[in-house]
Amino acid sequence: MNAISDKYFLATNHEPARAISPMIGMRHTRRLSDKVLVAFHQACDADDLDVAEHLLRVLEMMTMRRPLPGDGNRRRNMESLVAAHERLWHLRHPEN
């Protein structure tokens, strides 16, 4: 069997998904706030500033709430939030 037929064999014989793609088990490595920040930047890149603003509000709420266990680097989170605000401001005020 070659690699392609091996994947087909695993998929058709109901093997666990991780046997087909080792990346499936790694999809939860980023924090939710990091994913929201990535979505914010994607909205900015797409020039969808209303969506970017809503995502920024969500990110603010996540950053300002009581720290969760394992949510260590609060300073870095605040710096990312400030940088996101600056980016949105510059996109809304391109003449400055």
pLDDT of residue 69: 66
d(CA 77, CA 60): 10
- d(CA 60, CA 78) in angstroms, rounded, equals 9
Encoded amino acid at 87, one letter:
R
15-58: pLDDT as tens digits: 444 444 455 555 567 789 899 999 999 999 999 999 999 999 99
- Model-level pTM? 0.65
Q: How many CB atoms lie under 10 A from the CB of residue 68?
A: 11
Query: What's 65's DSSP letter?
Result: S
Cβ(33)–Cβ(42) below 8 Å: no
Q: Which two tokens stand for residue 59?
A: 């990110």
